[in-house]
Structure 1
Amino acid sequence: MRRAVICSLAVSMSVSAAACGETGGDSGVSRKDKSIGLLLPDYATKRYEKFDRPLIGGKITSLCPDCKIAYANADGNPDRQAQQVRDMIAQGVKVLILGAQDAVGIKASVQEAVDKGVKVIAYDRFAQGPVSAYVSYDNEKVGELQGQALLEAMGSKATPAAKIVMINGDDADPNAAQFKAGAHKALDGKVTIAYEQSGLWKDTVASQKVKAAIAQLGAKNIDGVYSANDGMAGGIATALKNADIDVPLTGQDADLAGVQRILSGQQTSTVYKAFKPEAEATAEIAVKLLNGEDISAVADTVATSGSGTTVPAKLLTAVSVTKDNLKDTVVKDAVYLVVQICTPSYASACEAAGIS
């Protein structure tokens, strides 16, 4: 397990770290009074370290050059994240951007931070407790996009008799419940969900669950697999291949490996949630809260958490991605360089998809 180290960072778009410490700003206010904390939930979901962290840090720095940014990752451990919140409070952060590992379990920590005068922004996952704002995507709609993409990939085989294996995310993540609800909205009545389990956002767990589904249902009786994200889809794709099963498979997050699986035909779809607008909206809200400014221009709607708290929110719209629109979405937005996607193993698939 990685040891999460909280350190004050001078963050650029490439997340270069400066030495820990404090310096005075031009206004004479100490950097400790202009400190923003960022806590992310895990390393397993590749997007957090690769995209969210540098994008949030870079935008904060552009809006507030003399702000100090403190960072830590829970590495999938809710107890560690609770301690990280306490550490951030002790450091004197004024605003805390929180991607919750356990959105329910972190509630007491959110309350503790707020009691100490810290403004908390729930990032990507709706942490319970008295947060000041929430920034994410319309997650139920994401699930609907996944379910619809699965039906479209199945084509004429999408009938009530068709058997679907459904591998959901971690129940500790409130987004997982929303993805699941949206997917069921799209799938129920159109196909039969013959096997449904949580994959805990882990490729190894998802693989094990699918192997169990194959043993229970029989390889010839599986017509499609819903995977709540690309990370789990990687383990599922391997399990399906080993069992000589070729059926539509969904995903989410537009991970590089997921994009490559779509090109090679091992995965049929993903959901692209552009990282930049989510990260930058969060950074803007954080700086506004730090300066005591109104956030309604950015947080232009409201959302209600699982604990019944209604807060200002920014909810963005995701896009379903298949091989047909990969070029006009993920590639166009330069989420990855073509050279990263089109390695020798995927060169011919890239050429067939018009990616060069």
Structure 2
Amino acid sequence: MRARTGRAGAAVLTALLAMSMAACGGGDASDGDGGFTVGLLLPSGAIPRWEHSDKPLIEKRIRELCPRCTLRYANAENDAARQRDQVTSMITKGAEVLILDAADTRAIRSSIQEARRAGVPVVAYDRLAEGPVSGYVSFNGAEVGRLQGTALLKAMGRDAEGGTVVMMNGDPASPNAAWFREGALSVLKGKVKIGREYDTEGWSTDGAHANMDAAIAALGPQRIDGVLAVNDAVAAGVISALKKAGVRDLPPVTGQDADLDAVRRIVAGEQTMSVYKPFRSEASAAARMAVALGRGEDLDAIATTTTDSPTTEDIPTVLLAPTPVTADTIGPTLVEDGVYTVDQICTPPLRPACERAGLTS
């Protein structure tokens, strides 16, 4: 995946797309207020953000931008074949534009080609799928990894000098996993020893627990100075495995997505940090792209850069900036942005820790 700033190719791509949609009846460019159907396809229910944040935010923003539009929703539950069937069903039932977060970015390629033949543009959401996608919205994955690596080194302190880190990466089917890893290694390489490294299929908490069990068995629980956990679901598995092994003084553990349970672990001192990706901004950009494409418009006013995938060049792109979250910054990031209330975070057992973190008084 390569992001770049050239716009000429993007303009040609979107102009051709608009012509194709008009020929195939795939949009209503003549009536800016006309309604159409947007299909939303998300990859799984295992990570809380998809159902709790992204779906409702996208629905809300589409209603604001296009009151007469309707939205169809499907969740692949980490099943690539199921998602391919869902794409076909969406097209058959009249969806005129799709927002797609691919369960498997390679396996979905034929379905995106099917959508293109039907005159249905596809906005790749959060993960860049292969095939002729018309737009792409995500966060800068390399920066996510850099934030995690930097926070891990800081939390390790003196142990960072030649210390041993376990890397718990994401699902190899997602290009984001490699993107996060690359960013993290740009900070960690040459400063720590990577004692063990694991991929986590399906970004599964149970899979992460099993992988961490293996790391503990191989290295010994006291020889792990830090864990680069790719996201909060993986961090949950890592921490549960460490506790099961009898580790009372937990090493620093990173995360991503600012899930509510992870925020509580950060307050409790079990997880070092997470990465907050303002889902409202991501959802809004995807909804804007979908509505524009559904109306036969180009994406020049929305996209800020372009990206090349293994199959497609100059995809109009919005890449957003992530923010690190620690116990000290939960208030000014997550609470002030309205992601969670203090009452949601500070359960009765956490009240003393919340007070120390400045969340309550």
TM > 0.5: yes
Which residue of the partner structure matches residue 108 of structure 2? Answer: 106
Q: Is the 8 A contact 2:128 2:136 kept in 1?
A: yes
Contact 2:43/2:75 (8 A) holds in 1: yes
Q: Distance in 2 between matches of 1:114 and 1:302?
A: 19
Q: Is the 8 A contact 1:225 1:250 kept in 2?
A: yes
One-letter amino acid matched to 1:275: F
Q: Could you tell me the percent identity over the aligned residues? A: 49
Q: Secondary structure at the match of 1:326?
A: helix
| Counterpart position of 1:190 | 191
Match of residue 3 from structure 1: none
Please, which moves more after superposition, 236-245 or 37-46? 236-245
Following superposition, the deviation at residue 292 of structure 1 comes to: 1.4
Partner residue of 1:321 out of 301, 308, 325: 325
Corresponding position of 1:175: 176
Gap regions ≥5 residues in structure 1: 1-26
Q: Superposition pairs for residues 141-220 of structure 1, below 5 Å?
A: 141-160=143-162, 162-200=163-201, 201-220=203-222
Offset at residue 118 of structure 1 (A): 0.3
Q: Please, what is the CA RMSD of the aligned residues?
A: 1.4
2:38 aligned partner:
36
Find the counterpart in structure 1 of residue 14 from structure 2: none
Bigger CA drift: 79-88 or 238-247? 238-247
Q: Which residue of 1 aligns with 2:63?
A: 61
Partner of 2:134: 132
Structure 1 residue aligned with 2:287: 283
The whole-number CA distance in structure 2 between the counterparts of 1:28 and 1:274 is 28
The offset of 1:306, in angstroms, is 3.3
CA distance in 1: counterparts of 2:246 and 2:332, whole angstroms: 32
Paired residue secondary structure (2:104):
coil
Indicate the residue corresponding to 1:254 in structure 2: 258
> Deviation digits for residues 60-101 of structure 1, max 9, x if unmatched?
011111101111000111110000000011011111000000
Q: Aligned partners of 1:343 and 1:304: how far apart in 2?
A: 45
Aligned counterparts of 1:291 and 1:119: Cα–Cα separation in 2: 11
Q: Offset of 1:28 from its aligned partner?
A: 12
Q: Does 1:95 align with 2:112?
A: no
Q: 1:58 to 1:159 in 2, by over 3 A?
A: same
How far apart, in 1, do the equivalents of 2:121 and 2:40 lie? 12
Contact preservation (8 Å) 2:33, 2:66: no
Give, in angstroms, the shift of residue 30 of structure 1.
8.0
Task: Give, in whole Å, the separation in 2 of the partners of 1:327 and 1:68.
Answer: 36
CA contact (8 A) 2:208 2:237 kept: yes
Letter in 1 for 2:112: V
CA distance in 1 between counterparts of 2:219 and 2:315 reads 44
Shift of 1:29: 9.3
Q: C-alpha distance in 2, partners of 1:28/1:334?
A: 32
Equivalent positions of 1:255-274 (< 5 A) are 255-274=259-278
- Which amino acid counterpart does residue 168 of structure 1 have in structure 2? N
Q: For 1:250-275, what per-residue CA distance to the aligned partner results, in whole angstroms no more than 9, with x for missing partners?
A: 00000001000000011001000011
Matching residue's letter, 1:121:
V
1:324 aligns to what SS in structure 2?
A: helix
Q: Which amino acid aligns with 1:111?
A: Q
Q: Which fold has the larger relative contact order, with Cα–Cα distance below 8 Å and residues 6 or more apart in sequence?
A: 2
- Structure with more of its chain in helix, by fraction: 2
- Give the whole-Å Cα distance in 1 for the aligned partners of 2:102 and 2:138: 12
8 A contact 2:132–2:312 mirrored in 1: no
Consecutive unaligned residues of structure 2, counting only runs of 5 or more, are 1-30
> What is the CA–CA distance in structure 1 between the aligned matches of 2:152 and 2:310, rounded to whole Å?
28
Report the Cα offset of residue 279 of structure 1: 0.2
- SS of structure 1 residue aligned to 2:329: coil
Check conservation: 2:172, 2:200, Cα contact below 8 A: no
Match of 2:106, SS state, is coil
Q: Quote how far apart the aligned CAs of 1:310 are.
A: 2.8
Native 8 Å contact 1:147 1:187 kept in 2? yes
Whole-Å separation in 2 of the counterparts to 1:296 and 1:313: 10
CA distance in 2, matches of 1:81, 1:310: 25
Instruction: Name the residue aligned to 1:120.
Output: 122
Task: Please point out which of 304, 307, 319 is paired with 1:303.
Answer: 307
Q: What residue in structure 2 maps to residue 333 of structure 1?
A: 337
- Number of aligned residue pairs: 327
Tell me what 2:51 maps to.
Answer: 49
- Provide the secondary structure at the position in 1 that maps to 2:58: helix
Q: Which one-letter code corresponds to 1:195 in the other structure?
A: R
Deviation at residue 276 of structure 1 after TM alignment = 0.2
Q: Which amino acid aligns with 2:166?
A: V
